[in-house]
Structures are given as C-alpha cells and as structure tokens.
C-alpha cells in the first residue's frame, strides 16, 4: 500500500491484468514470436554462410558453389528484413490492443470503486494513474517491450547458434558476461537516485531564478542581489554535482560494456587460433563465432538500455492494476427486495473517519419496511455519517448494516443502487439536457415518466419555461441551474430510480420553508411503501415521520414517535419547543396538526 488511499499491485497481481489479455490474443502473440524467431534464424544463418564461403574459397571450391552461398546469404538478408518489419508491425498492433484493454479495465475499476475511496484519494493521484501512468505503460508497450523481446530472442538464439557452431568457442561469451552483469547492476542501482537528484536540482534552479526575476524590485530594494546570486550559484552547483555523478556512472558503465564485447571477441580469436593450431576449430567456425560475438553487441546493448524503461513501466502497471485492490470484495449478487419488504437493521455500528476516533459509538436501530424514520440531533452528532453507512458509502469499523437482510457494505456499488439511494444536500448537475440529468438512473424512462417525476417535485413549470424544455442543455456549458433547482432534479432522479430504501440527507434544504413543505407532501405520496430515513434540520419533517431518533455525540439519545418524545420532555421536546418558537417568531409556515403525511 502507498500512503494514499489507492494501493499498488504486487507483481503477481499486475501480471494477472496483462496475461489474460495476451491469452485472448494468443494467435497474434504467437505470430509475432514466430516472425521474430524466423528473422533471427535468418540473421544467424548469415555468419554460418559467410563461414562456409570462407572455407569454400580456402578449399578452392568452384565458382558455382561460391555463387550459391552468396545467393543464399542475400536471401537470408531479405527474409530477415521482411520478417522483422512484419513482426514489428504486428507487435505494435498487439501493444495497442493490450493498452486499450488495460485502459478499459482501469476505467471500469475506477467507476466501481466505492465512493468513499474516491473521496479519500487525492484527485492528483487518480488523475496521475489515469494519465501519466497509462502513458508510461503505453510508451513501454509500443517501444521498450518489443525492443526487449526481440533483443532477448536474438541474444538467446545467437548464443544457441554459437554453441551449435562450436561449443568450446561459444564459451568465450562467459568471459564477458560477469563484466556486463556487474556494471549494469551497479548502474541500475545508482542511476535512479542520481537522475532524481538531477531533476530536483533543476527544479530548484528554476524556482530560484523565477523568484529572483519575479521579485526583482524587492531584491533591489532590500539589496538582496548578492544573496540571490549566491543562492543561484548554490543551486547550479548542486545540479552540476548531480550531472557529474550521472555522467560518471555512464562513463563507467558504457566502457565496461564495450570492454566486455571486446573481451568476448578477443578470447574467441585467441581460443580459435589455438583450436585451429590444435585442429579442433576450423577457419569457418572461427569466423562464424567471431561474427556472432560481434552480432551480440546490438541486442545486449538494447537489452540493458531498455531495462530502465521496462522497470518504470512495471511500476506504472502496478499502480494501474492496484486500483483493483481498492474494490470492495464481491459476494454473490442478491436480488433487490421489492419496496415495502426492505427494512434496515443496524447492529452495534462503530465508525471513525480514516482510522481516527470513532464518531459513531455502537448504534443499533431497526427501521421497519415502509417506515419513515427521522434522524435529528445537534451538528456533528453523526447523522450524516449514519446515513452514509446505511447507503453503503462507508463500511462500519465494526457492527453491521443490513438492508432487506443484505449486508450493504459488502455489495459492489452497482448493486447497492438497487437497494438504497442517498440524496445529499448538494447535488451535481451533469452537462447534458434536463431529460438526460433526470434519467441517469433509469435511461429507458420515457418522456411522460420524466415529466411526471418533474411534476411531483414541483419542477415541471420552470423546466417547461426553458428554451427547449426537457431538451435544454444545463450544467457545464448549458443554462445555469440554481442549487434549489439542482435539488429538485435530484429528487426527480430518485422518483425514477425507485429504490426500496431512501436516505434523504437534508434533501430539501436549499428550498425555502414553504416550497420544501409542499414538495415534501407531494413526495410523501410517491414514496409511500418505501423505507425512508430522513436527516432533518426542519423539525416539521421529524414531526411528520413515523418515528424519530435523536443522535447525540454518536449515540442514540432518544427514540420514539414525535408524540412520545414531546411528552417525555427530553432533548427532543426541547428542540421541538425551540423550533416551534423560531418558526412562529419568523412568521413562516406554522406547523400543521400532527399526523399529516409528509415524508421529509
């Protein structure tokens, strides 16, 4: 896990993202590998033919034989060129396919993340994974992976060909190997830190220069010129030290590689000479092994130089695949309970944000199917938190929340929607038409259904007055919509979504008292049969509910009907008296007689 809310995948988890995609494209992958093998074999046949040519000339072979060998040599060159071209083309197409799947998977996983995870991970982190990390992976898949695959295949086959040509001479490779491995490991261990220092140093140089130039007048007024110049010199000295360090690393590494190649070649020549004199190595074999040794330089160079890129790409893949680790565990998909049958059962629930102190301390509560329960209490009592737990947005630290018998926090987000909806105080308006915004949870809803929902939330009149009615673009780039109108659209969305359990968290708070009451009354009819939990600041909402729970300091302080709690003379009775006094003093809506049927 990283410090943020999004985990990083283990190498095995990262492989599990790419391997199934490659398995799907098995034939394309095999074709690319086969073409590379043919191209490499054709390339390797060249030195053998060259060796045979030398031997044929040495033996005084006829012109026909020499011509035949030269012709075959030309054919191998042609086959190699054609196969390499085709393999690279197919590899590029395959890489694009893999990348597309990784991108699609990533997006799908991102959309399945629990909202609480998305809320808690920084936007920068998500955006970096979706853009920079995917770009890094994409560059590697397009360039580094094909280069490394080809280079690895060529290296392996070249060594194989050397062994076939002359096993004793092929042993010369072993002479150069330790130097390549030692120098490359040393470079890879130290280079990342060096390059990081270099980048940080350049960032500091830029910052110092920009500050000095931007604050030129202050620098002059405060006579800071000398000090700023000293700061700039120091920053430049740091960068140049870092640059010298990485340069030193490269100037040790690259000559080591060169020396290793030469070592292989020289030892092949020396050993070959010895073998020729002792009679166990022919001239052709020596020529072929030397050419093979020289041919190794290219692919080994490619392997070591692209290794860095492949490492960075593996990290990017681990970060992309890590998003899967933030997904909730998937249980079997339960069928949503029809409305009227889904009650809420909360048992000994404790919860604190981000591992901090609990804000809910063992809350237990039953809401019967079809019941309307109001939650009231002072600010910070934990009302919204309880609402979020019921809606499955957060998982209790301990205890359970069940809806219609289903533990809601274990459900994948797309199934939660079928059980419960939470309507918060502030609602987002998406860029699109009014109809698009209302039908988000039910895209197949017809225009009549949309108009009916808008009518129920008292929004149809203003929507009809818009230039294109239901088709008027709103939200970003469209007509501006007030917070109260956005709240009405969100309520209309809920009417169409028709979830069996509904949590309304001050869902009508943006409306004035009178509009809120009217809207709540009309909603009450539509929502009849649903289990409704309503977090209420206006106490007429609590009075109209079947039961009221008073939360205080994360605990249930009182629970009962409005009448019972008023008669009990406790915290709720005091809140009610204060509310009634305020409403009457403000001369707004006088509370209607108890028993009228409003929901929120």
| 437 and 457 Cβ atoms separated by less than 8 Å | no
Shortest reach from residue 550's CB to ligand ATP, in Å? 11
Closer residue to ligand ATP in complex, CB, 457/550: 550
Shortest reach from residue 415's CB to ligand ATP, in Å? 24
Shortest reach from residue 393's CB to ligand ATP, in Å? 10
Shortest reach from residue 363's CB to ligand ATP, in Å? 11
Q: Report the alpha-carbon distance of residue 367 to residue 373 in Å, rounded.
A: 7
Shortest reach from residue 382's CB to ligand ATP, in Å? 4
Closer residue to ligand ATP in complex, CB, 384/439: 384
| 28 and 37 Cβ atoms separated by less than 8 Å | no
Q: Which helix H or strand E contains 375, and what residues bound it?
A: strand 372-376
Phi and psi angles of residue 478, each rounded to the nearest 5 degrees, phi first: -115, -160
> In residues, how long is the chain?
600
Closer residue to ligand ATP in complex, CB, 168/570: 570
Closer residue to ligand ATP in complex, CB, 90/383: 383
| Centroid of chain to Cα 510 | 34
Q: Which two tokens stand for residue 286?
A: 């020596």
Shortest reach from residue 395's CB to ligand ATP, in Å? 14
Q: Under the phi-then-psi rule, with left for phi > 0, alpha for psi from -120 to 50, and beta for the rest, what region is 560?
A: left
Closer residue to ligand ATP in complex, CB, 546/552: 552
Helix, strand, coil shares, percent, the chain, to 5: 65, 10, 25
**Residue linked to tokens 């289990």:** 531
Closer residue to ligand ATP in complex, CB, 357/448: 357
Shortest reach from residue 394's CB to ligand ATP, in Å? 9
| 259 and 179 Cβ atoms separated by less than 8 Å | yes
Closer residue to ligand ATP in complex, CB, 338/380: 380
Angle at 189 between CA 186 and CA 191, to 5 degrees: 95
**Nearest alpha carbon to residue 129 among 148, 103, 95, 152:** 103
Three-class DSSP category at 413 = helix
**Nearest alpha carbon to residue 508 among 530, 523, 528:** 523
**Residue linked to tokens 């094909």:** 146
Shortest reach from residue 388's CB to ligand ATP, in Å? 8
Q: Report the alpha-carbon distance of residue 281 to residue 284 in Å, rounded.
A: 8
Q: If 0-12 CB within 10 Å is exposed, 13-18 middle and 19+ buried, where does residue 301 land? A: middle
Closer residue to ligand ATP in complex, CB, 379/444: 379
Closer residue to ligand ATP in complex, CB, 76/385: 385
Closer residue to ligand ATP in complex, CB, 46/382: 382
Q: Report the alpha-carbon distance of residue 497 to residue 374 in Å, rounded.
A: 22
Shortest reach from residue 359's CB to ligand ATP, in Å? 4
Q: Report the alpha-carbon distance of residue 40 to residue 567 in Å, rounded.
A: 92
Interface residues with ligand ATP (CB under 6 A)? 353, 359, 377, 379-385
Cα dihedral across residues 25, 26, 31, 34: positive or negative: positive
**Residue linked to tokens 């020596």:** 286
Closer residue to ligand ATP in complex, CB, 435/535: 535
């Amino acid at each position: 896990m990283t410090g943020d809310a999004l985990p990083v995948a283990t190498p095995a988890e990262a492989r599990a993202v790419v391997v199934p995609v490659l398995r799907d494209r098995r034939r394309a992958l095999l074709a690319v590998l086969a073409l590379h093998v043919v191209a490499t074999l054709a390339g390797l046949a060249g030195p053998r033919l060259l060796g045979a040519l030398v031997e044929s000339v040495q033996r005084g072979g006829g012109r026909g034989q020499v011509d035949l060998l030269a012709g075959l040599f030309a054919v191998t060159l042609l086959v190699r060129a054609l196969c390499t071209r085709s393999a690279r083309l197919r590899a590029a197409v395959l890489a694009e396919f893999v990348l597309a799947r990784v991108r699609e998977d990533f997006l799908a996983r991102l959309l399945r993340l629990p909202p609480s995870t998305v809320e808690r991970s920084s936007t920068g982190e998500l955006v970096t994974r979706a853009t920079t990390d995917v770009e890094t992976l994409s560059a590697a898949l397009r360039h580094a992976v094909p280069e490394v695959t080809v280079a690895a295949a060529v290296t392996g086959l070249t060594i194989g060909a050397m062994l076939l040509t002359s096993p004793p001479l092929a042993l010369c490779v072993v002479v150069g190997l330790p130097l390549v491995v030692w120098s490359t490991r040393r470079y890879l261990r130290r280079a990342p830190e060096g390059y990081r220092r270099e980048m940080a140093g350049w960032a500091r140089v830029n910052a110092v220069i920009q500050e000095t130039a931007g604050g030129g007048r202050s620098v002059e007024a405060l006579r800071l010129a000398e000090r700023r110049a000293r700061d700039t010199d120091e920053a430049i000295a740091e960068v140049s030290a870092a640059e010298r360090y990485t340069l030193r690393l490269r100037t040790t590494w690259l000559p080591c590689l060169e020396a290793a190649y030469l070592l292989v070649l020289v030892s092949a020549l020396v050993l070959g000479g010895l073998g020729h004199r002792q009679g166990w190595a022919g001239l052709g074999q020596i020529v072929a092994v030397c050419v093979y040794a020289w041919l190794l330089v290219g692919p080994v160079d490619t392997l070591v130089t692209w290794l860095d890129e492949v490492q960075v790409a593996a990290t990017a893949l681990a970060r992309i695949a890590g998003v899967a680790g933030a997904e909730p565990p998937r249980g079997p998909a339960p069928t949503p309970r029809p409305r009227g049958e889904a009650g809420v059962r909360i048992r000994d629930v404790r919860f604190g944000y981000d591992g901090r102190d609990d804000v809910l301390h063992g809350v237990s509560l039953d809401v019967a199917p079809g019941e309307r329960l109001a939650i009231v209490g002072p600010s910070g009592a934990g009302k919204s938190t309880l609402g979020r737990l019921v809606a499955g947005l957060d998982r209790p630290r301990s205890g359970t929340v069940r809806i219609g018998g289903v533990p809601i926090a274990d459900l994948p987000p797309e199934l939660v929607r079928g059980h419960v909806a939470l309507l918060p105080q502030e609602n987002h308006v998406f860029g699109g038409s009014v109809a698009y915004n209302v039908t988000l949870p039910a895209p197949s809803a017809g225009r009549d259904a949309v108009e009916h929902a808008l009518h129920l939330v008292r929004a149809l009149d203003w929507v009809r007055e818009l230039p294109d009615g239901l088709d008027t673009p709103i939200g970003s780039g469209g007509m501006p919509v007030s917070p109260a109108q956005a709240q009405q659209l969100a309520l209309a969305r809920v009417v169409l979504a028709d979830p069996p359990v509904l949590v309304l968290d001050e869902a009508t708070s943006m409306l004035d008292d009178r509009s809120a009451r009217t809207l709540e009354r009309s909603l009450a009819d539509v929502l009849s049969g649903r289990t409704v939990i309503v977090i209420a600041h206006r106490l007429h909402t609590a009075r109209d509910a079947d039961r009221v729970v008073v939360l205080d300091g994360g605990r249930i302080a009182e629970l009962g009907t409005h009448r019972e709690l008023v008669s009990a003379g406790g915290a709720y009775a005091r809140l009610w008296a204060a509310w009634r006094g305020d409403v009457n003093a403000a001369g707004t809506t006088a509370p209607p007689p108890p028993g009228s049927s409003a929901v929120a």
